[in-house]
A = this chain, B = another copy of it.
Amino acid sequence: MKKPLTIVKIGGNVIDNSEQLHYFLEDFSALPGDKILVHGGGKVATELGVSMGVEAKMVDGRRITDIHTLRIVTMAYAGLINKNIVAQLQARYCNAIGLTGADGNTIKAVKRPVKTIDYGFVGDLDEHSIAVDTISSLLNAKLVPVFCAITHDGDTQLLNTNADTIASAIAVAMSAAYDTTLIYCFEKKGVLRDVDDESSILSEIRLDEFAALQESGVISGGMIPKLHNAFEAIKSGVKEVYIGHADELLKQGAQQGTRLTQ
């Protein structure tokens, strides 16, 4: 039987709220067994850019990571946010180790090819980008990896990378050796039947129900790619995926978000 492994992803809505981050890290520390945290960015990168006079660069509504932006996100994500999360987890006796994909060559991405838009220093990756052996060594040493959304290309270049993608790639890759559960914390309590009614949570969606829920319009908009990616992870070996609010999703015996399974 494989050992269980939980991969949790948090974004700006948790990171930017120090009280919410505090409670989240308390719950995360209390999670039993092997676990990995993946965090996105937050307002601090934007604020840092403003204070340094570097404007966010957009092309056709897409954010571009030029060399100045890459410096800023490296400082904000890999430095300030990652190390403060690690120090806070350590204070809760969770033996966290903060990493970019360059550290231990844990995530080797590819700079996004230029087609119509040059996204700049952005990394694309999949489950084959993940160094399963190195991450397993860290887990076996009773360490808790905390990944920020920076990877590298193996040829000296750091790359800005989507944290959701990192979390699912790690979950899929680690599934060969572990029973993996992937938990996406986001701003809603789960997948809702009625987007304006936080109590209308769908407690479970099976892979074979997904298409029907899309057709009937219950799942629409931004939830479609999110759930599509989650089910792709499940098809590739992840045991289950939870989507919901950080406040509730990690509490023992109170997993009130939406559970996605085969």
Spell out A's residues near B (CB within 8 Å).
48, 51-53, 71, 74-80, 82-84, 86-88, 90-91, 95-100, 102-105, 134, 137-138, 141, 143, 150, 152, 154-158
In the complex, the chain B residue whose C-beta lies closest to that of A146 is B103
* Cross-chain contact of A76 among B77, B79, B138, B154 (Cβ < 8 A): B79
Query: Closest 8 A-B residue pairs measured CB to CB?
Result: A79-B79, A75-B75, A137-B141, A75-B79, A91-B156, A87-B102, A78-B79, A97-B103
Judged by DSSP, the binding face of A is helix
User: Would you call B103 and A98 a contact (CB within 8 A)?
Assistant: yes
User: Would you call B97 and A104 a contact (CB within 8 A)?
Assistant: yes
Given contacts A52-B51, A134-B143, A141-B138, whether A102 and B74 have CB atoms under 8 Å apart is no
Q: Tell me which residues across on chain B come within 8 A of A96, comparing CB atoms.
A: 102-104
Determine the distance from Cα of A82 to Cα of B75 in the docked complex, in whole angstroms.
Answer: 10
